[in-house]
Amino acid sequence: MAPFYALASAFLFALSNHFSHVGLEQSDARSGTLVTIATSCLVYWLFAPFFLHVSYFFTQAVILFALVGIIRPALSSALAITSIKMMGPTLTSALTAATPLFGALFAILLLGEKLTLPVAAGTGAVVAGAIVGAWNPQGMKRAWPLWAIALPLGASLIRATGHVVTKIGLVELPSPSFAVLVGNTVSMATGIIAFKWQRRPFLGTPTSHLWFMASGVANALSLQFLNNALQVGDMVSVIPIVSATPVFTMLMGYFYFGREIITWRTLATIALIVPGVILVAVSH
C-alpha cells in the first residue's frame, strides 16, 4: 500500500498548491497560511474521537511530532505559498521536489553514509534544474527575483527534516493521524504567535478564505497519506513517489486550472529535478 499512499499524497499536495494559488489572488501568503493550517487542524480534531487515545500524550513520540509541528507545516507552508505567489505552482513544486535530496544528505552527514556516484549525479541534476529554472536568456527581466529560489528549497529542507523525525516517532507510536494532529496543532499555535508578534493585518475575502480552506483539507489528507506511507514503507521508497507532485501540478495547471504557461524551462526544470531526486533516493 505504500506506493498508493505516496501517490495519493502527491496528487493531493498538488491540488492544495493550486487551491492556494487561486486564494492568493485576493489575499496574502501569511493570512492564507493561517487559514490553511487552521482548517487542517480543525479537520483532525473533528475526527480525533475515532483515533485518539489519552495514553498517546504520555509517549516520547508526542515530543517528536510537536517538534515537527514547529517547523512544518507553518514555516514550510509559508515559504511554499510565498513561492507559489512569486514563481507559480509548477516551478515551486519542481524545486520543492528536492526533499529526497536533503533526506539523502542528512543520511550522509549524520549517519556516515558514503557519497556514491548516483547520489552525486542526482545532486548535479537538481542543481542543474534550479539553474535552468532561474536562467533568463538575453538579459530579459525575470518576473521573479533570483533569491526566490531559496523559498521552495527552504520548504523542501524543512519537509525532509520533518519526514525523518516523523518516521522515528512512528516507530514508537504507529498512529499517522495522531502525528498529523499534534503537528498541525503546534504549527497553528506557532503561526498565530508569529502573526501576532509581527502585528500583521489579517487580509483576504470570503472567497479567498474558502479556497485556502479547501487547500487545508487537501493538505490534511495529503499528510495523512504521507504518514501512512512512512509507517508501512521505507522513507527512501516513499519520498521519490511523493516527488511526482510537480507532474500532477503541471497537468492540473494545464488541463484544468489553465493558470500555468508551460515553457521549455519549466519542463526542463521538472525533467532534471524529478529524476535527480529519484536517483538520489533510490540509491539509498
Instruction: Give 167-184 pLDDT, tens digit per residue.
Output: 888 888 989 999 999 988
Cell for 232? 508501512
In this prediction, residue 179 carries a pLDDT of 92
Domain range annotation of the chain: 2-283
In this prediction, residue 140 carries a pLDDT of 44
In this prediction, residue 107 carries a pLDDT of 67
The model's pTM is: 0.77
Are the C-beta atoms of residues 280 and 123 closer than 8 Å to each other?
yes
Q: Mean of the per-residue pLDDT values for the chain?
A: 80
Are the C-beta atoms of residues 275 and 97 closer than 8 Å to each other?
no
More confident residue, 79 or 143: 79
Sign of the alpha-carbon dihedral angle for 30, 28, 136, 96 = positive
Report the share of the chain in percent with pLDDT over 90.
17
How sure is the predictor about 213, in pLDDT bands with cuts at 50, 70 and 90?
very high
Instruction: Determine the average pLDDT of the residues in 220-237.
Output: 85
Q: What is the pLDDT of residues 121-158, one digit of tens each?
A: 876 777 677 667 655 555 445 577 778 888 888 888 88
**What's the start-to-end Cα distance of the chain, in Å?**
20
Report the candidate in 73, 81, 76, 72 with the shortest Cα–Cα distance to residue 21.
81
In this prediction, residue 217 carries a pLDDT of 93
How far is it between the farthest Cα atoms of the chain?
62
179: exposed, middle or buried (Cβ count in 10 Å: 0-12, 13-18, 19+): buried
Instruction: Determine the average pLDDT of the residues in 202-218.
Output: 90
Distance CA 211, CA 55 (A): 36
Q: Distances in Å between the alpha carbon of 171 and those of 36, 71, 75, 175, 233?
A: 28, 21, 25, 9, 11
Distance CA 159, CA 99 (A): 7
Alpha helices in 24-98 (DSSP H): 29-46, 61-71, 74-87, 89-96
Q: What is the pLDDT of residues 32-67, one digit of tens each?
A: 888 988 999 999 999 888 888 999 999 999 999 999
More confident residue, 270 or 111: 270
